[in-house]
A = this chain, B = another copy of it.
Amino acid sequence: MAKEVVNKEVVSREEDYSKWYNNLVVKADLAEQSAVRGCMVIKPYGYAIWEKMHEQLDKMFKETGHVNAYFPLFIPKSFLSREAEHVEGFAKECAVVTHHRLKVAPDGKCVVVDPDAKLEEELIVRPTSETIIWSTYKNWIKSWRDLPLLCNQWANVVRWEMRTRLFLRTAEFLWQEGHTAHATAEEAEAEKTQMVNVYAKFAREVMALPVVVGHKSPGERFAGALDTMTIEALMQDGKALQAGTSHFLGQNFAKSFDVTFTNKEGKQDYVWATSWGVSTRLMGALIMAHGDDNGLVLPPALAPIQVVMVPLYKSEEEHNAVLDKMYEVKKALEAKGHSVEIDDRDTLRPGFKFAEWELKGVPVRLAMGPRDLQNGTVEVARRDTLEKISEPLEGLEDRIIGLLEDIQKNIYNKALAFRDASIRKVDTWEQFKEEIEKGGFLLCHWDGTAETEAKIQEETKATIRCIPVDSALCFEEGKCIYTGKPSHQRVLFARSY
Protein backbone atom coordinates (compact mmCIF):
# COMPACT_ATOMS: atom_id res chain seq x y z
CA MET A 1 0.00 0.00 0.00
CA ALA A 2 1.11 3.49 -0.88
CA LYS A 3 0.43 4.61 2.67
CA GLU A 4 3.20 2.47 4.04
CA VAL A 5 5.58 3.77 1.44
CA VAL A 6 5.29 7.25 2.87
CA ASN A 7 5.18 6.45 6.57
CA LYS A 8 7.41 3.49 6.96
CA GLU A 9 10.31 5.66 7.99
CA VAL A 10 8.36 7.27 10.82
CA VAL A 11 8.75 5.01 13.83
CA SER A 12 5.89 4.84 16.32
CA ARG A 13 5.83 6.96 19.46
CA GLU A 14 5.82 3.83 21.60
CA GLU A 15 8.88 2.42 19.88
CA ASP A 16 11.06 5.52 20.16
CA TYR A 17 9.45 8.85 20.97
CA SER A 18 12.57 10.85 20.35
CA LYS A 19 13.17 9.26 16.97
CA TRP A 20 9.47 9.63 16.12
CA TYR A 21 9.85 13.39 16.72
CA ASN A 22 12.96 13.68 14.57
CA ASN A 23 11.32 11.63 11.82
CA LEU A 24 8.23 13.82 11.83
CA VAL A 25 10.16 17.07 11.64
CA VAL A 26 12.13 15.87 8.65
CA LYS A 27 9.55 13.72 6.81
CA ALA A 28 6.79 16.30 7.14
CA ASP A 29 9.15 18.86 5.58
CA LEU A 30 9.25 21.16 8.58
CA ALA A 31 12.98 21.64 9.10
CA GLU A 32 16.37 20.02 8.70
CA GLN A 33 19.93 20.37 9.96
CA SER A 34 22.02 22.81 7.98
CA ALA A 35 25.69 22.67 7.10
CA VAL A 36 26.31 24.95 10.10
CA ARG A 37 26.54 23.13 13.42
CA GLY A 38 23.34 23.46 15.42
CA CYS A 39 21.63 25.82 12.97
CA MET A 40 18.49 24.61 11.25
CA VAL A 41 16.90 25.30 7.90
CA ILE A 42 13.20 25.94 8.37
CA LYS A 43 11.58 24.49 5.24
CA PRO A 44 8.62 26.16 3.53
CA TYR A 45 5.95 23.98 5.15
CA GLY A 46 7.43 24.49 8.62
CA TYR A 47 7.91 28.19 8.00
CA ALA A 48 4.28 28.55 6.91
CA ILE A 49 3.20 27.27 10.34
CA TRP A 50 5.60 29.68 12.06
CA GLU A 51 4.20 32.53 9.93
CA LYS A 52 0.72 31.71 11.23
CA MET A 53 2.01 31.75 14.81
CA HIS A 54 3.79 35.04 14.12
CA GLU A 55 0.72 36.62 12.56
CA GLN A 56 -1.66 35.68 15.35
CA LEU A 57 0.73 36.54 18.19
CA ASP A 58 1.57 39.85 16.53
CA LYS A 59 -2.12 40.71 16.40
CA MET A 60 -2.47 39.92 20.10
CA PHE A 61 0.56 42.07 20.96
CA LYS A 62 -0.84 45.00 18.99
CA GLU A 63 -4.26 44.59 20.59
CA THR A 64 -2.55 44.97 23.97
CA GLY A 65 -0.88 48.22 22.89
CA HIS A 66 2.55 47.04 21.77
CA VAL A 67 4.50 48.25 18.75
CA ASN A 68 7.28 46.53 16.82
CA ALA A 69 10.80 47.89 16.39
CA TYR A 70 14.17 46.49 15.41
CA PHE A 71 17.43 46.56 17.37
CA PRO A 72 20.94 45.52 16.27
CA LEU A 73 22.00 41.91 15.85
CA PHE A 74 25.28 42.68 17.58
CA ILE A 75 25.92 43.53 21.21
CA PRO A 76 29.24 45.06 22.34
CA LYS A 77 30.92 42.65 24.71
CA SER A 78 31.07 45.27 27.46
CA PHE A 79 27.25 45.67 27.39
CA LEU A 80 26.70 42.03 28.26
CA SER A 81 28.94 42.42 31.31
CA ARG A 82 26.99 45.27 32.80
CA GLU A 83 24.30 43.14 34.40
CA ALA A 84 26.18 40.56 36.47
CA GLU A 85 23.64 37.72 36.47
CA HIS A 86 22.84 38.32 32.84
CA VAL A 87 26.39 37.83 31.59
CA GLU A 88 26.74 34.81 33.88
CA GLY A 89 23.69 33.33 32.17
CA PHE A 90 24.80 33.88 28.58
CA ALA A 91 28.60 34.18 28.40
CA LYS A 92 29.17 30.48 27.96
CA GLU A 93 27.16 30.15 24.79
CA CYS A 94 27.96 33.24 22.71
CA ALA A 95 28.88 33.56 19.06
CA VAL A 96 31.67 36.16 19.08
CA VAL A 97 32.51 38.38 16.10
CA THR A 98 36.16 39.38 16.26
CA HIS A 99 37.01 40.51 12.70
CA HIS A 100 35.34 42.40 9.88
CA ARG A 101 37.20 41.26 6.79
CA LEU A 102 38.51 38.23 4.93
CA LYS A 103 41.40 38.27 2.49
CA VAL A 104 42.96 35.93 0.00
CA ALA A 105 45.46 33.58 1.67
CA PRO A 106 49.15 34.00 0.84
CA ASP A 107 48.95 30.79 -1.25
CA GLY A 108 46.19 32.42 -3.31
CA LYS A 109 43.95 29.38 -2.94
CA CYS A 110 41.48 30.23 -0.21
CA VAL A 111 40.30 33.11 1.95
CA VAL A 112 41.43 33.67 5.50
CA VAL A 113 40.52 36.10 8.25
CA ASP A 114 42.42 39.35 7.74
CA PRO A 115 44.40 39.92 10.97
CA ASP A 116 44.46 43.65 10.22
CA ALA A 117 40.68 43.75 10.49
CA LYS A 118 40.39 42.91 14.16
CA LEU A 119 37.59 44.75 15.94
CA GLU A 120 38.56 47.02 18.82
CA GLU A 121 35.82 45.49 20.89
CA GLU A 122 34.36 42.08 20.15
CA LEU A 123 30.69 41.90 19.23
CA ILE A 124 28.35 39.21 20.52
CA VAL A 125 25.58 37.92 18.27
CA ARG A 126 22.53 38.66 20.45
CA PRO A 127 21.44 35.76 22.65
CA THR A 128 18.66 38.09 23.86
CA SER A 129 18.44 41.87 23.56
CA GLU A 130 17.94 43.38 27.03
CA THR A 131 21.35 45.05 27.05
CA ILE A 132 21.29 46.65 23.60
CA ILE A 133 17.67 47.70 24.07
CA TRP A 134 18.17 49.26 27.50
CA SER A 135 21.22 51.13 26.21
CA THR A 136 18.82 52.56 23.58
CA TYR A 137 15.96 53.22 26.00
CA LYS A 138 18.31 55.52 27.91
CA ASN A 139 17.87 58.02 25.07
CA TRP A 140 14.15 57.48 24.65
CA ILE A 141 13.03 57.89 28.23
CA LYS A 142 13.26 61.20 30.06
CA SER A 143 9.92 61.71 31.75
CA TRP A 144 6.88 59.77 32.96
CA ARG A 145 5.23 61.02 29.76
CA ASP A 146 7.52 58.69 27.77
CA LEU A 147 6.21 55.70 29.73
CA PRO A 148 5.07 53.04 29.38
CA LEU A 149 7.24 52.11 26.43
CA LEU A 150 5.86 48.91 24.94
CA CYS A 151 8.13 47.50 22.21
CA ASN A 152 8.39 44.08 20.67
CA GLN A 153 10.92 42.73 18.19
CA TRP A 154 10.72 39.74 15.84
CA ALA A 155 14.28 38.52 15.36
CA ASN A 156 16.82 35.75 15.20
CA VAL A 157 19.02 35.04 18.21
CA VAL A 158 22.01 32.78 18.79
CA ARG A 159 22.87 30.65 21.81
CA TRP A 160 25.74 28.28 21.25
CA GLU A 161 24.09 25.18 22.70
CA MET A 162 26.27 22.10 22.72
CA ARG A 163 23.50 19.56 22.21
CA THR A 164 20.93 20.71 19.71
CA ARG A 165 17.59 19.33 18.43
CA LEU A 166 15.50 20.71 15.61
CA PHE A 167 13.15 23.45 16.91
CA LEU A 168 13.65 22.45 20.58
CA ARG A 169 17.21 23.61 21.04
CA THR A 170 19.11 25.15 18.15
CA ALA A 171 22.11 27.46 18.02
CA GLU A 172 20.10 30.00 16.02
CA PHE A 173 16.36 30.34 16.48
CA LEU A 174 13.62 32.78 15.58
CA TRP A 175 11.60 34.46 18.29
CA GLN A 176 9.89 37.58 19.44
CA GLU A 177 11.10 39.49 22.45
CA GLY A 178 8.99 42.15 24.13
CA HIS A 179 10.83 44.78 26.16
CA THR A 180 8.74 47.21 28.13
CA ALA A 181 9.55 50.12 30.40
CA HIS A 182 7.29 51.40 33.17
CA ALA A 183 7.07 54.12 35.80
CA THR A 184 6.16 51.80 38.66
CA ALA A 185 6.89 48.28 39.83
CA GLU A 186 3.16 47.54 39.98
CA GLU A 187 2.66 48.48 36.35
CA ALA A 188 5.62 46.36 35.22
CA GLU A 189 4.36 43.39 37.28
CA ALA A 190 0.93 43.80 35.68
CA GLU A 191 2.52 43.84 32.22
CA LYS A 192 4.48 40.67 32.96
CA THR A 193 1.26 38.95 34.07
CA GLN A 194 -0.70 40.28 31.11
CA MET A 195 1.85 38.88 28.66
CA VAL A 196 2.08 35.43 30.20
CA ASN A 197 -1.70 35.38 29.93
CA VAL A 198 -1.51 36.41 26.27
CA TYR A 199 0.84 33.47 25.72
CA ALA A 200 -1.52 31.12 27.59
CA LYS A 201 -4.46 32.29 25.51
CA PHE A 202 -2.49 31.83 22.30
CA ALA A 203 -1.30 28.36 23.39
CA ARG A 204 -4.82 27.26 24.31
CA GLU A 205 -6.90 28.81 21.57
CA VAL A 206 -4.53 28.72 18.61
CA MET A 207 -2.08 25.90 19.36
CA ALA A 208 -4.69 23.80 21.23
CA LEU A 209 -2.15 23.38 24.05
CA PRO A 210 -3.61 23.21 27.58
CA VAL A 211 -0.69 24.93 29.31
CA VAL A 212 -0.23 25.49 33.03
CA VAL A 213 0.60 29.08 34.01
CA GLY A 214 2.85 29.76 36.94
CA HIS A 215 5.97 31.33 38.39
CA LYS A 216 9.42 29.84 38.00
CA SER A 217 11.26 28.99 41.20
CA PRO A 218 14.08 31.49 41.91
CA GLY A 219 16.66 29.04 40.60
CA GLU A 220 14.92 28.73 37.24
CA ARG A 221 14.43 32.46 36.62
CA PHE A 222 15.76 34.28 33.58
CA ALA A 223 19.27 35.68 34.14
CA GLY A 224 18.61 39.13 35.57
CA ALA A 225 14.90 38.74 36.44
CA LEU A 226 13.16 39.20 39.80
CA ASP A 227 10.25 37.02 38.69
CA THR A 228 9.78 34.76 35.69
CA MET A 229 6.35 33.49 34.71
CA THR A 230 5.98 30.59 32.34
CA ILE A 231 3.53 28.52 30.36
CA GLU A 232 4.33 24.83 30.70
CA ALA A 233 3.00 22.28 28.24
CA LEU A 234 2.93 18.51 28.58
CA MET A 235 4.20 16.34 25.75
CA GLN A 236 2.83 12.88 24.98
CA ASP A 237 5.88 11.16 26.46
CA GLY A 238 5.06 12.74 29.82
CA LYS A 239 7.83 15.35 29.68
CA ALA A 240 7.14 19.04 30.18
CA LEU A 241 8.10 21.76 27.73
CA GLN A 242 8.53 25.41 28.68
CA ALA A 243 6.67 27.17 25.88
CA GLY A 244 6.98 30.85 26.74
CA THR A 245 8.21 33.09 29.55
CA SER A 246 7.50 36.59 30.81
CA HIS A 247 9.91 38.33 33.15
CA PHE A 248 9.67 41.11 35.71
CA LEU A 249 13.16 42.61 35.61
CA GLY A 250 12.74 45.15 38.37
CA GLN A 251 15.16 48.05 37.94
CA ASN A 252 18.16 45.83 37.19
CA PHE A 253 18.65 46.80 33.57
CA ALA A 254 17.70 50.43 34.20
CA LYS A 255 20.42 50.58 36.82
CA SER A 256 22.98 48.83 34.62
CA PHE A 257 22.31 51.25 31.76
CA ASP A 258 21.46 54.28 33.88
CA VAL A 259 17.92 54.74 32.58
CA THR A 260 16.10 57.18 34.81
CA PHE A 261 12.99 59.30 34.36
CA THR A 262 11.37 62.29 36.01
CA ASN A 263 8.24 61.05 37.75
CA LYS A 264 5.00 63.02 38.19
CA GLU A 265 6.37 64.48 41.42
CA GLY A 266 9.39 65.81 39.56
CA LYS A 267 11.80 63.31 41.10
CA GLN A 268 14.29 61.09 39.31
CA ASP A 269 13.74 57.34 39.53
CA TYR A 270 14.99 54.26 37.72
CA VAL A 271 12.64 52.73 35.17
CA TRP A 272 10.94 49.35 35.78
CA ALA A 273 11.22 46.65 33.13
CA THR A 274 9.71 43.49 31.73
CA SER A 275 10.72 41.21 28.91
CA TRP A 276 8.86 38.25 27.42
CA GLY A 277 9.40 35.86 24.55
CA VAL A 278 8.32 32.82 22.62
CA SER A 279 10.35 31.16 19.91
CA THR A 280 10.38 28.55 17.15
CA ARG A 281 10.52 26.11 20.08
CA LEU A 282 6.72 26.39 19.93
CA MET A 283 6.97 24.36 16.72
CA GLY A 284 8.47 21.51 18.75
CA ALA A 285 5.67 21.76 21.31
CA LEU A 286 3.05 21.68 18.57
CA ILE A 287 4.50 18.59 16.94
CA MET A 288 5.05 16.62 20.14
CA ALA A 289 1.77 17.50 21.82
CA HIS A 290 -0.56 16.51 18.98
CA GLY A 291 1.22 14.27 16.47
CA ASP A 292 0.39 10.59 16.14
CA ASP A 293 1.99 7.57 14.50
CA ASN A 294 0.67 8.66 11.10
CA GLY A 295 2.32 12.07 11.33
CA LEU A 296 1.52 15.63 12.33
CA VAL A 297 -1.88 16.63 13.65
CA LEU A 298 -2.24 20.36 13.08
CA PRO A 299 -4.89 22.49 14.77
CA PRO A 300 -6.85 24.22 11.96
CA ALA A 301 -5.86 27.64 13.35
CA LEU A 302 -2.22 26.94 12.43
CA ALA A 303 -2.55 24.65 9.43
CA PRO A 304 -1.07 26.22 6.26
CA ILE A 305 -3.50 23.98 4.35
CA GLN A 306 -6.74 23.38 6.23
CA VAL A 307 -8.52 21.30 3.60
CA VAL A 308 -6.94 19.12 0.94
CA MET A 309 -8.93 17.57 -1.88
CA VAL A 310 -7.88 14.47 -3.77
CA PRO A 311 -9.67 13.69 -7.04
CA LEU A 312 -10.47 10.05 -7.93
CA TYR A 313 -11.03 9.24 -11.60
CA LYS A 314 -10.32 6.90 -14.46
CA SER A 315 -11.18 8.83 -17.60
CA GLU A 316 -10.22 12.36 -18.57
CA GLU A 317 -13.91 13.22 -18.58
CA GLU A 318 -14.33 12.02 -15.00
CA HIS A 319 -11.20 13.92 -14.01
CA ASN A 320 -12.55 17.17 -15.41
CA ALA A 321 -15.96 16.76 -13.84
CA VAL A 322 -14.49 16.07 -10.40
CA LEU A 323 -12.03 18.96 -10.69
CA ASP A 324 -14.78 21.38 -11.70
CA LYS A 325 -16.70 20.53 -8.56
CA MET A 326 -13.57 20.78 -6.43
CA TYR A 327 -12.70 24.25 -7.69
CA GLU A 328 -16.22 25.30 -6.83
CA VAL A 329 -15.86 24.07 -3.24
CA LYS A 330 -12.36 25.56 -2.99
CA LYS A 331 -13.56 28.96 -4.11
CA ALA A 332 -16.40 28.96 -1.61
CA LEU A 333 -14.12 27.97 1.28
CA GLU A 334 -11.41 30.45 0.31
CA ALA A 335 -13.98 33.22 0.19
CA LYS A 336 -14.58 32.51 3.87
CA GLY A 337 -10.86 32.75 4.65
CA HIS A 338 -9.94 29.06 4.61
CA SER A 339 -6.90 27.63 2.86
CA VAL A 340 -7.59 24.82 0.46
CA GLU A 341 -5.39 22.76 -1.82
CA ILE A 342 -6.40 20.45 -4.65
CA ASP A 343 -3.81 17.70 -5.01
CA ASP A 344 -4.03 17.03 -8.73
CA ARG A 345 -0.58 15.49 -9.18
CA ASP A 346 -0.97 12.89 -11.88
CA THR A 347 2.09 10.82 -11.03
CA LEU A 348 0.88 9.65 -7.61
CA ARG A 349 -1.88 7.26 -6.55
CA PRO A 350 -4.67 8.51 -4.23
CA GLY A 351 -3.57 6.23 -1.38
CA PHE A 352 -0.08 7.71 -1.50
CA LYS A 353 -1.53 11.23 -1.42
CA PHE A 354 -3.79 10.36 1.53
CA ALA A 355 -0.79 9.15 3.53
CA GLU A 356 1.28 12.18 2.61
CA TRP A 357 -1.37 14.66 3.74
CA GLU A 358 -1.86 12.67 6.92
CA LEU A 359 1.87 12.93 7.53
CA LYS A 360 1.63 16.68 7.04
CA GLY A 361 -1.26 16.94 9.46
CA VAL A 362 -3.84 18.61 7.18
CA PRO A 363 -7.03 18.75 9.31
CA VAL A 364 -9.62 17.81 6.66
CA ARG A 365 -9.25 15.69 3.54
CA LEU A 366 -11.90 15.37 0.87
CA ALA A 367 -11.88 12.62 -1.72
CA MET A 368 -14.30 12.75 -4.60
CA GLY A 369 -14.88 10.45 -7.57
CA PRO A 370 -17.46 10.08 -10.36
CA ARG A 371 -19.75 8.00 -8.16
CA ASP A 372 -19.73 10.77 -5.54
CA LEU A 373 -20.70 13.27 -8.21
CA GLN A 374 -23.59 11.06 -9.26
CA ASN A 375 -24.75 10.60 -5.68
CA GLY A 376 -24.04 14.20 -4.71
CA THR A 377 -21.64 13.10 -1.98
CA VAL A 378 -18.02 13.43 -0.96
CA GLU A 379 -15.78 11.44 1.38
CA VAL A 380 -14.64 13.56 4.30
CA ALA A 381 -11.71 12.38 6.45
CA ARG A 382 -10.71 14.21 9.61
CA ARG A 383 -7.08 14.03 10.63
CA ASP A 384 -7.52 14.19 14.39
CA THR A 385 -9.68 11.08 14.73
CA LEU A 386 -8.88 9.50 11.34
CA GLU A 387 -12.64 9.03 10.84
CA LYS A 388 -14.07 8.96 7.33
CA ILE A 389 -17.67 9.67 6.47
CA SER A 390 -19.66 10.28 3.32
CA GLU A 391 -21.26 13.72 3.34
CA PRO A 392 -23.78 15.29 0.95
CA LEU A 393 -22.30 17.94 -1.35
CA GLU A 394 -25.27 20.15 -0.58
CA GLY A 395 -24.26 22.64 2.11
CA LEU A 396 -20.75 21.18 2.23
CA GLU A 397 -18.88 24.45 2.87
CA ASP A 398 -20.74 25.21 6.07
CA ARG A 399 -20.28 21.70 7.37
CA ILE A 400 -16.56 21.85 6.67
CA ILE A 401 -16.24 25.13 8.49
CA GLY A 402 -18.09 23.58 11.42
CA LEU A 403 -15.85 20.54 11.21
CA LEU A 404 -12.69 22.68 11.35
CA GLU A 405 -14.00 24.34 14.52
CA ASP A 406 -14.82 20.96 15.97
CA ILE A 407 -11.34 19.62 15.16
CA GLN A 408 -9.72 22.62 16.82
CA LYS A 409 -11.73 21.97 19.99
CA ASN A 410 -11.24 18.24 19.89
CA ILE A 411 -7.45 18.49 19.62
CA TYR A 412 -7.45 20.78 22.64
CA ASN A 413 -9.79 18.57 24.64
CA LYS A 414 -7.76 15.48 23.90
CA ALA A 415 -4.58 17.19 25.06
CA LEU A 416 -6.42 18.55 28.11
CA ALA A 417 -7.71 15.11 29.08
CA PHE A 418 -4.19 13.73 28.70
CA ARG A 419 -2.73 16.52 30.80
CA ASP A 420 -5.35 16.22 33.52
CA ALA A 421 -4.83 12.48 33.71
CA SER A 422 -1.09 13.15 33.99
CA ILE A 423 -1.25 15.55 36.94
CA ARG A 424 -0.98 13.64 40.21
CA LYS A 425 -0.65 14.79 43.78
CA VAL A 426 2.25 13.01 45.38
CA ASP A 427 3.03 13.24 49.09
CA THR A 428 5.98 11.00 49.89
CA TRP A 429 9.50 10.85 48.56
CA GLU A 430 9.26 7.14 47.78
CA GLN A 431 6.10 7.71 45.80
CA PHE A 432 7.71 10.67 44.01
CA LYS A 433 10.65 8.60 42.81
CA GLU A 434 8.27 5.94 41.56
CA GLU A 435 5.78 8.29 39.92
CA ILE A 436 8.33 10.51 38.20
CA GLU A 437 9.42 7.48 36.17
CA LYS A 438 5.92 7.33 34.69
CA GLY A 439 6.18 10.91 33.44
CA GLY A 440 3.58 13.67 33.75
CA PHE A 441 3.21 16.55 36.18
CA LEU A 442 3.58 15.80 39.89
CA LEU A 443 1.99 18.29 42.28
CA CYS A 444 4.03 18.24 45.43
CA HIS A 445 4.89 20.24 48.49
CA TRP A 446 8.34 21.79 48.50
CA ASP A 447 10.13 23.65 51.29
CA GLY A 448 10.98 26.60 49.03
CA THR A 449 14.78 26.21 49.17
CA ALA A 450 17.19 26.03 46.27
CA GLU A 451 19.06 23.21 48.05
CA THR A 452 16.05 20.91 48.11
CA GLU A 453 15.22 21.78 44.50
CA ALA A 454 18.79 20.91 43.45
CA LYS A 455 18.80 17.61 45.35
CA ILE A 456 15.49 16.53 43.87
CA GLN A 457 16.82 17.30 40.41
CA GLU A 458 20.06 15.45 41.11
CA GLU A 459 18.29 12.34 42.28
CA THR A 460 15.41 12.24 39.78
CA LYS A 461 16.19 14.66 36.90
CA ALA A 462 12.88 16.35 37.73
CA THR A 463 12.68 20.12 38.06
CA ILE A 464 10.08 22.51 39.34
CA ARG A 465 8.32 23.49 36.13
CA CYS A 466 6.34 26.19 37.89
CA ILE A 467 4.57 27.34 40.98
CA PRO A 468 1.06 27.39 39.49
CA VAL A 469 -1.13 30.47 39.77
CA ASP A 470 -4.29 28.35 39.69
CA SER A 471 -5.19 28.16 43.38
CA ALA A 472 -7.49 25.19 42.92
CA LEU A 473 -4.49 23.17 41.76
CA CYS A 474 -2.19 23.81 44.64
CA PHE A 475 -3.03 26.18 47.48
CA GLU A 476 -3.01 23.98 50.56
CA GLU A 477 -0.83 23.31 53.60
CA GLY A 478 1.50 20.34 53.66
CA LYS A 479 5.01 19.07 54.09
CA CYS A 480 7.93 19.09 51.64
CA ILE A 481 8.21 15.70 49.97
CA TYR A 482 11.98 15.77 50.34
CA THR A 483 12.70 17.44 53.71
CA GLY A 484 9.33 17.22 55.44
CA LYS A 485 9.49 20.92 56.25
CA PRO A 486 6.20 22.86 56.16
CA SER A 487 4.89 24.19 52.83
CA HIS A 488 1.94 26.39 51.93
CA GLN A 489 1.54 25.43 48.30
CA ARG A 490 2.09 22.53 45.99
CA VAL A 491 4.39 23.11 43.01
CA LEU A 492 4.56 21.31 39.68
CA PHE A 493 7.45 18.90 39.14
CA ALA A 494 8.32 17.13 35.90
CA ARG A 495 11.16 16.03 33.75
CA SER A 496 11.39 18.39 30.86
CA TYR A 497 12.74 19.25 27.43
Contact = CB atoms under 8 A, between A and B. Distances in A.
A113 B100 contact: no
Interface string A206-220: 000000000000000
A125 B73 contact: yes
B96 A92 contact: no
A347 interface: yes
Interface stretch (A8-16, A79-87, A318-326, A382-390): A79-87
A68 B93 contact: no
A160 B101 contact: yes
A76 B36 CA distance: 7
A299 to B, nearest CB: 20
Contact of A72 (B41, B48, B73, B81): B41
B95 A100 contact: yes
A360 B139 CA distance: 20
Oligomeric state, in copies: 2
A67 B174 CA distance: 18
Interface string A62-75: 00000111111111
B156 A73 contact: yes
Contact of A124 (B39, B50, B79, B102): B102
A69 B43 contact: yes
Interface of A: 32, 34-36, 39-44, 47-48, 50-51, 67-81, 87, 91-104, 110-111, 113, 122-125, 132, 135-136, 139, 145, 151, 155-156, 158, 160, 172, 174, 347
16 contacts: A34-B132, A35-B72, A41-B72, A44-B67, A48-B68, A50-B70, A70-B174, A74-B172, A77-B113, A81-B111, A91-B101, A91-B102, A92-B102, A94-B101, A96-B102, A98-B113
